[in-house]
Amino acid sequence: MPEEHSPHDPSRITPSSPASNVQPQTSGVKRRAPSATRLAFRSLAAVTNKEFIHILRDPGTLVIALVIPVVLLLLFGYALSLDVREVPFCLVDQSRTQTSQDFVARFTASGYFKLVGTVDREADAHHLIDAGRARMALLIPTDFTRDQTAGRAGAVGLLIDGSNSLTASVILAYTEALIQRVGTRSESSADSVMSLAALSIRPRILFNPTQRSTDFLVPGILAIITMFMTILLPSMAVVREKERGTIEILRAGPIRPAAFVVGKLLPYGLICVLDLLMVIIVGALVFGVRIQGSFTLLVLLSVPFLLTGLAMGLLISTVVDSLQVAMYSSFLVSVLPTILMSGFVFPIASMPRLVQLISLLVPARYFLLVVRGIYLRGAGFGSLHPPFLIILIFGTVLIAVAVERLRRSL
């Protein structure tokens, strides 16, 4: 007789039995494992989508990304200015003639100088400058009108407060320009004595003919803001993952470092491009600084600089572990070197040799050449490709180092 098996006999194998040596039948369609390329793209899309969702749900990040660049531009644009307006000066007019009065009227009518008092002696002018009531004294001698009538060079004396050397240099330059409208200055002595003659000088200014310092500073402010934002945003994004502990999930997952880096950089790169456009528009509408060259060329040549800043932000995030330290580090790495060692205000050629060598490692130095060349000179790619290539090298090296650092930490 055939052996009977109980329905609950453990030796009986049914389709629902967990036998390891029995595999359920399939439909005959063999599923293909996803390739490494597809997995990389899925990881990249997942990281990018996650970062976009986080940005949209975090109002603080949106404020930092969209509002702060405009605020910084307005603050820097209005606070930083090399132009000198309404310089208070006192007058020592020993000639007291119509000719001397007409000469003084040129100063007050220009808008650069403002007469705050008239004294009889040079000692009194010294007192006003010492008290801070005047920044300059104009000294007109007794024989000023007689010399001008006779066609001789009449001397005009200047006393300038040199406690602020930059302002004193600008005041002296403005005064020389006004005197050149009357005549040309001869050699000046150590105490800044000017002399008038019958000749005239006709200078030609090729770029920035209005000589507004705002036209020179706004492109530099654009570089400062771009550098700061591109470093700050990615550094905060990765450090935030560390503080919340979600970085451990990424370490346990199949995400490759390259996909993680690109997924993190892509959203903030798009935001930084938007910030760049906002700064350009605000600079044109508020400060009247317009691009003389190609707008498209400026945006395209800015992309490697954006990537360089983003890579620097990722490098900072691999070193620090708190948002506060990340913000401080971003400021120290971006704003201070850009202001001090990029040629933003201070000429690099006048710096000490050691500082000049250190400035070679500041990417903003080369970006300033690009942005000012397009803004002020209308330069094309032919004259801007050397700094562009240097920025491209900076970006490539920094991104490779950032990927390697993250590969070790993930």
| Higher-confidence position of 210 and 384 | 384
Contact 141, 154 (CB under 8 A): yes
Contact 156, 195 (CB under 8 A): yes
Q: Is the pLDDT of residue 138 over 60?
A: yes
For range 201-208, the mean pLDDT: 58
Q: Is the pLDDT of residue 97 over 50?
A: yes
Q: Are residues 61 and 108 in the same domain?
A: no
Band (357; pLDDT cuts 50, 70, 90): very high
Instruction: State which residues form the domain around 179.
Output: 87-195
| Higher-confidence position of 136 and 36 | 136
Q: Are residues 155 and 280 in the same domain?
A: no
Residue 209 neighbours by CB distance under 10 Å:
9
Dihedral pair phi/psi, residue 116, rounded to 5°: -110, -5
Specify the CATH number for the domain of residue 183.
3.40.1710.10
**Number of domains the chain contains:** 2
For range 104-111, the mean pLDDT: 75
Q: Are residues 75 and 93 in the same domain?
A: no
Query: Strand 193-195 vs strand 155-160: parallel, antiparallel, or unpaired?
Result: antiparallel
Q: Is the pLDDT of residue 126 over 80?
A: yes
For range 330-359, the mean pLDDT: 85
Question: Which of 130-139, 186-195, 209-218: highest mean pLDDT?
Answer: 130-139
Q: Is 208 left (phi over 0), alpha (psi -120 to 50) or beta?
A: left
Q: Are residues 267 and 247 in the same domain?
A: yes
Band (135; pLDDT cuts 50, 70, 90): confident
Q: Is the pLDDT of residue 144 over 60?
A: yes
CA 327, 328, 330: angle at the middle one, nearest 5?
65
Band (10; pLDDT cuts 50, 70, 90): very low
CA 249, 251, 253: angle at the middle one, nearest 5?
70
In a domain, 204, yes or no: no
Q: Are residues 183 and 253 in the same domain?
A: no
Q: Is the pLDDT of residue 376 over 60?
A: yes
State the chain's mean pLDDT as an integer: 76
